[in-house]
Amino acid sequence: MKFSRRSDLGFSLGQLLARAWLEGLPEPPDCVVAVPLSARRLAERGFNQSSALARAVARALSVPARAGVLRRRRETVAQSSLGRVERAVNLAGAFQVVRPPVVCDRSILVVDDVITTGATFDEIVGTLRSNGARKVECIALARAGRD
């Protein structure tokens, strides 16, 4: 989906992701948020694969997808090129909540395409919690091998 520029797969894959979510944790979140891409990566790729998945997950769960809640504060090195410790350092302070009222006292489901070490989710969870999110859960379409 990501590297083949197949944004059309987002809906079907997102439906599968939502089904898996409902099997494990049936309580729906207040909203769904995608892991944001940097402006450069978005321009290169033409779409945010996590946003495509998040929209489909939100639709299947009958909750809103909230675009523009999170943004990347700075460009980061691609996580796939880094080891476990380097990934956490690379992402420290990389995300910012730009719409705090959307997350304050809310249950948020964060969607990404791939999880490897969890560094991206860890950083986003901390950012959302420090902006008042009551509960933050994360789900990814695939799990890559751990380093």
Report pLDDT digits (tens) over 27-37.
889 999 999 98
**Distance between CA atoms of residues 129 and 37, nearest Å:** 20
Q: Mean pLDDT score of the chain, rounded to an integer?
A: 82
d(CA 20, CA 93): 30
The dihedral over CA atoms of 74, 80, 82, 86, expressed in degrees to the nearest 10, equals 50
Domains contained in the chain, CATH given = 7-143 (3.40.50.2020)
pTM above 0.85, yes or no: no
Distance, CA of 91 to CA of 43 (rounded, Å): 20
- Alpha-carbon span 66 to 64, nearest angstrom: 6
